[in-house]
Chain A
Amino acid sequence: MKTDLLTSLNAERSARRPVIVVTDVGNGEQRLVKADAIKADPLAADLDKHLRMNKSAMIEVDGKKLFLNVYAPTARLIVIGAVHISQALAPLAASLGYEVTVVDPRTAFASPERFPDVPVVAEWPDVALPPLGVDRYTAFVALTHDPKIDDPALLHALSRDCFYIGALGSRKTHGRRLDRLKEQGATDSSLARIHAPIGLAIGAVSPAEIAVSIMAEITARLRLPQEKAA
């Protein structure tokens, strides 16, 4: 591996941008493909699939064996609301490999006793969210049912490129939420990114089951091709 390739690889990784290193294992030739260059790459289909599945693998192209080493950032989950569902959701998401952060300005909810294993930020979204660096590899869920907390949080998420945004609430509740967010300047096309009611329809009742339905929807969004995950 050439020094400049290794330096760019580390720079992309520390900026949480996905990259793939393509190595011809027959002769050692190597190149680095950044995420935004995948579409125009001759190996676009293979690169896209392996990046989406976060799976490094050997492929054969024109009789050459090429190793695709996928370096995808660790997916994050930001949970707005240190509520009962979040207590089930946080450990489930952590077991799926997500870095989880819980945000809730209400200190009675946002206590380390209720969330022993994940960072909890007891601040309002406008203070808590900017330092978290919400990006393409972030899933974002709003679960408080309180517009004072959920609305500004969702507006922040909509201003970023996160791969999943979900909000708890019935269709009626969500309808009222859309009206409020529109009044604050959100466009219809950006609001369409919010998954609500949140989670896959699996008839979930308990907080733990709702957590499963949320993580199932997030997984589909992360792994399936975009058109199938919509």
Chain B
Amino acid sequence: MLSNDNDILKAAEDWQKAGRGVALATVVETWGSAPRPTGSNLVINDEGAFLGSVSGGCVEGAVVTEALDVIASGKPKMLEFGVADETAWNVGLSCGGTIRVFVEKVGS
């Protein structure tokens, strides 16, 4: 494994202690075929660096963009991705599933 969940959450702690803005994204619900199970984490810092995954790489870009908003505002967000989503042609799950991702600021 490139990075296990332990490394991911440790990175979140280290980034935050180093004074970076940090957000934590977590898969909280899945329907149908989903690439990563509920509980999977992605951490993002205010430079756009990230570790972990919430999908097989399909929606990470969009989650990182939203995470930067969350770091700025401090308010958590619930994101949903799936083939029925209007943005599906841009950032959807090719596997046909739907996932909900909760994004929160670390240190809020």
Contacts and interface: CB of A to CB of B under 8 A. Distances in A.
Nearest to B4: A74
Interface in B2-45: 5-6, 9-10, 12-13, 16-17, 24, 26, 28-29, 37-39
B106 A3 contact: yes
A192 interface: no
B16 A6 contact: yes
Interface residues of B, number: 24
B6 A14 contact: yes
B75 to A, nearest CB: 8
A56 B38 contact: yes
Contacts of A67: 26, 28, 102
Nearest to A67: B28
B9 A9 contact: yes
Nearest to B40: A56
Interface of chain B, helix or strand or loop or mixed?
mixed
B57 interface: no
B39 A70 contact: yes
B56 interface: no
A1 interface: yes
Nearest to B102: A25
A10 B13 contact: yes
B64 to A, nearest CB: 17
13 contacts: A3-B16, A3-B107, A6-B16, A10-B10, A13-B9, A23-B28, A23-B104, A28-B75, A28-B108, A56-B38, A57-B38, A67-B102, A71-B39
Interface of A: 1-3, 6-7, 9-10, 13-14, 23, 25, 28, 30, 55-58, 67, 69-71
Interface of B: 5-6, 9-10, 12-13, 16-17, 24, 26, 28-29, 37-39, 75-76, 78, 102, 104-108
Closest 3 CB pairs of A and B: A56-B39, A28-B76, A56-B38
